[in-house]
Structure 1
Amino acid sequence: MDDAVAPSNGPDRIAFYTLRWITRLCDGVGVALMAAMLLLIVAAVIARDLLALGLPWTEEMAPMLIIYAIGFGSISAWVRSEHLVVDLFSHRLSGLAKNVQYRLTALISCGFFALAAWGAWIMSDVSSNNTTVSLGISFSYLYYGVFFSFAGMALIAVWQTLRGPVAWLEAHHEEEVD
């Protein structure tokens, strides 16, 4: 998306820059969280093996960091349409059929994402009284990361359903295929 040409004017130009900003933000935060998780694990190993110190709280923080990193990464991948896709017949469809397929896929995805976000929200409410052993952090914060991820992708899927395919994203994917 970084090398795509922005539309000349109108709502598509605003959507282009908004989605590019969201993608860059999610990429940056996701990479920072992954780096923090790796540093946390390395620090725990060094503390345990070299200094004979136990850091049990690192075992509670690492899953939380990775859940949020995956959440930010999944939003970024959804904006770029880089999630794994099995494309058996789309390249043979006409322009109208491709548009309908794109919107139908986005609508079904939106429904799935909304359902998953709702489930994460329910789980965060149910687990609000359960806390981790070392840090006493509520398990709800784990589910908030899952909720954030699916809610973000649901919002983008709503936009994809309403807008349909955009030339500045399709041109980027055609270059990758060639």
Structure 2
Amino acid sequence: MDIETNRPTTAAPASLGMMRWLHRAVEWLAITLFAAIVIVAVVSVVNRFFLGNSLSWSEEFQRYGHIWLVLLAVTIAYRRGAHIGVDLLHDMLPGRAAASLRGAIDAAWLLLGVLICWSAWKILGVSSRQISAGLGVTMDKVYAGFLLAGGYMILSAAEQLVLRIGGEVRS
């Protein structure tokens, strides 16, 4: 959000070197995943209503795809400053205190990513013996999305902290 005009900014957020490629890859993964969900839904509807045949795996694919999509989109929105927030406290604070608050928020995102990865790692061991009924894959492949998204969240939050310390991130 542009503070002066109170309008969303169209410029891409600041990035560190190779992280630019990672951000682009994750965004393309989210786009591809969304397209796959839509295609599977359309094919499922066409099969069910026009051909009288149901795809047994389509509902699970869409459900797990949505979970992965949300997990990735949370961090994409964080990087772009697109999450809803209450700026009252931030706006009342002087420059340095406001910047410190933003840094604390970035540190909280980093901690959240660590907790997601830690929890996902614990679940992966147990879920490797469970098989998804519709897709027929082991559930550790499904839960790997949490590890992937948590890792991306850690990298993005760490990048934001480094950029903020270097003065390259707008408050």
Which TM bucket (shorter chain)? 0.7 to 0.9
Q: Can you give the 5+ residue segments of structure 1 that lack an aligned partner in the other structure?
A: 7-13, 174-178
Separation in structure 1 between the aligned mates of residue 132 and residue 63 of structure 2, nearest angstrom: 12
Native 8 Å contact 2:117 2:146 kept in 1 = yes
Q: Which amino acid aligns with 1:136?
A: G
Q: Structure 2 vs 1, CA of residues 46 and 20 (structure 1 numbering), >3 Å: closer, same or farther? A: same
Q: Deviations over 1:118-152 (max 9, x none)?
A: 11221122111111123320111221112211221
Separation in structure 2 between the aligned mates of residue 84 and residue 43 of structure 1, nearest angstrom: 35
Q: Structure 2 vs 1, CA of residues 93 and 148 (structure 1 numbering), >3 Å: closer, same or farther? A: same
Alignment of 1:52-67 (within 5 A): 52-67=52-67
CA shift for structure 1 position 55: 0.8
Tell me, yes or no, if structure 1 residue 79 matches structure 2 residue 87: no
CA shift for structure 1 position 166: 6.5
- Residue 135 of structure 1 corresponds to 135
Tell me, yes or no, if structure 1 residue 91 matches structure 2 residue 91: yes
- Residue 3 of structure 1 corresponds to 11
Q: Deviations over 1:65-111 (max 9, x none)?
A: 22222233223222212222222210122221122112111112211
Separation in structure 2 between the aligned mates of residue 66 and residue 45 of structure 1, nearest angstrom: 18
Native 8 Å contact 1:4 1:169 kept in 2 = no
Q: Structure 2 vs 1, CA of residues 63 and 165 (structure 1 numbering), >3 Å: closer, same or farther? A: farther
Alignment of 1:1-178 (within 5 A): 3=11, 15=16, 17-164=17-164, 169-170=169-170
Identity %: 25
Q: Structure 2 vs 1, CA of residues 75 and 45 (structure 1 numbering), >3 Å: closer, same or farther? A: same
How many aligned residue pairs are there?
A: 163
Q: Which moved more, 1:88-97 or 1:156-165?
A: 156-165
Q: Which amino acid aligns with 2:11?
A: D
Q: Deviations over 1:17-67 (max 9, x none)?
A: 544433332222211211110110111111111111121011221122222
Native 8 Å contact 2:114 2:150 kept in 1 = yes
CA shift for structure 1 position 3: 2.9
Q: Secondary structure at the match of 1:164?
A: helix
Q: Secondary structure at the match of 1:70?
A: helix
State the TM-score, normalized to the length of structure 2.
0.81
CA shift for structure 1 position 112: 2.0
State the TM-score, normalized to the length of structure 1.
0.78
Q: Structure 2 vs 1, CA of residues 147 and 4 (structure 1 numbering), >3 Å: closer, same or farther? A: closer
